[in-house]
């Protein structure tokens, strides 16, 4: 069935350029299936251009702030517009690394030891936090994606530099025990895990450059690992997705320590859809081509339209919403 679909891209976060590429790929895929697609580059925190487009459903290809943090989702629900991806509550929980940790712990999802630190804490308190975790530590801004603002601290001097960098994105940061080992990512489609991808960056870790710029980064689809380990990685990834209350899709990042213990790092509720993105690669390995993947996500968005969505909005768009 031909549908009128708005694809949201761009946005106002540090991940704007990646989002534009994701959105363009989604637009091309949906147009190839004959849909009436309206690309919308959001440059401010408003959905007025979306309302004006009067779509039947919205495909969210926004990354970072006002994309993955639940704000645009809440506005779309208020306007009675169905959309792809997680609802506002799950989006907020996944975007906030401290909130995610709390949900993981509550639902017995293994995650690295951590401490929350603030820009106003004394150095003595920060030293105590580092001592509790043990060097090296990974320092992360609380609400950023694509590894923006992330660093690894091997010394106290590194901690000072890392926190200064992370605090440039907000007054809170997460310090997490550095896990030495292999890194994997597991996509979730609907309520099923996709084939596993192993990440082998040439950078010190899988940072922004390794993800989007470094051609030397290796992505091993369905790596040669024991069946029981594959099942374990998929099970804990699905558990993390469910712990946050995610829907439709997510991509879960997992570290496997050298002793064989897996740890969930985070859940991405709107993974990338660029030519280098991992989620579409995993879907292809499961036999799901990119256009079909995008269309099935659109159908999920329509299927799970909020109860408050007017019937006419789902069927014919929502002019004047």
The number of CA neighbours under 13 Å toward the Cβ of 190 is 10
**8 Å CB contact between 185 and 211:** no
Assign 312 to helix, strand or coil: helix
**8 Å CB contact between 279 and 249:** yes
Assign 46 to helix, strand or coil: coil
User: Which are the catalytic amino acids?
Assistant: 15, 146, 212, 251, 253, 266, 268, 272
Phi/psi for 20 (5° steps) reads -60, -40
DSSP-derived secondary structure letter, 112? -
Beta bridge partners of 177: 137
In terms of Cα–Cα distance, which of 197, 249, 235 is closest to 109?
A: 235
Assign 160 to helix, strand or coil: helix
Beta bridge partners of 37: 5
Question: Which H/E stretch holds residue 257?
Answer: strand 249-257
């Amino acid at each position: 069935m031909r549908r009128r679909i708005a694809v949201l891209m761009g946005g106002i976060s540090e991940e704007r350029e990646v989002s534009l590429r994701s959105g363009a790929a989604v637009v091309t895929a949906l147009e190839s299936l004959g849909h009436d697609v309206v690309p919308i580059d959001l440059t401010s925190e408003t959905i007025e251009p979306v309302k004006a487009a009067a779509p039947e459903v919205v495909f969210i290809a926004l990354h970072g702030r006002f994309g993955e943090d639940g704000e645009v989702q809440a506005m779309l629900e208020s306007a009675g517009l169905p959309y792809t991806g997680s609802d506002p509550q799950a989006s907020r929980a996944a975007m906030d690394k401290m909130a995610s940790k709390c949900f993981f712990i509550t639902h017995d999802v293994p995650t690295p030891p951590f401490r929350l630190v603030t820009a106003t804490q004394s150095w003595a308190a920060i030293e105590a936090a580092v001592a509790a975790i043990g060097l090296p530590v990974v320092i992360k801004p609380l609400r950023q994606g694509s590894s923006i603002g992330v660093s690894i601290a091997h010394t106290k001097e590194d901690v000072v530099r890392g926190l200064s960098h992370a605090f440039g994105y907000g007054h809170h940061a997460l310090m997490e025990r550095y896990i030495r080992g292999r890194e994997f990512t597991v996509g979730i489609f609907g309520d099923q895990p996709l084939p596993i991808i192993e990440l082998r960056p040439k950078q010190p870790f899988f940072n922004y450059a390794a993800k989007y710029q470094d051609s030397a980064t290796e992505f091993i689809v369905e790596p040669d690992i024991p069946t029981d380990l594959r099942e374990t990685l998929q099970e804990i990834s699905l558990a993390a997705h469910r712990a946050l209350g995610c829907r439709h899709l997510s991509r879960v990042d997992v570290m496997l320590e050298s002793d064989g213990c897996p740890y969930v790092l985070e859940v991405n509720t709107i993974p990338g859809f660029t030519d280098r993105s991992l989620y579409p690669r995993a879907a292809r390995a499961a036999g799901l081509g990119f256009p079909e993947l995008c269309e099935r996500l659109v159908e999920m968005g329509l299927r799970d339209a909020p109860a408050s969505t007017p019937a006419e909005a789902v069927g014919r768009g929502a002019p004047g919403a």
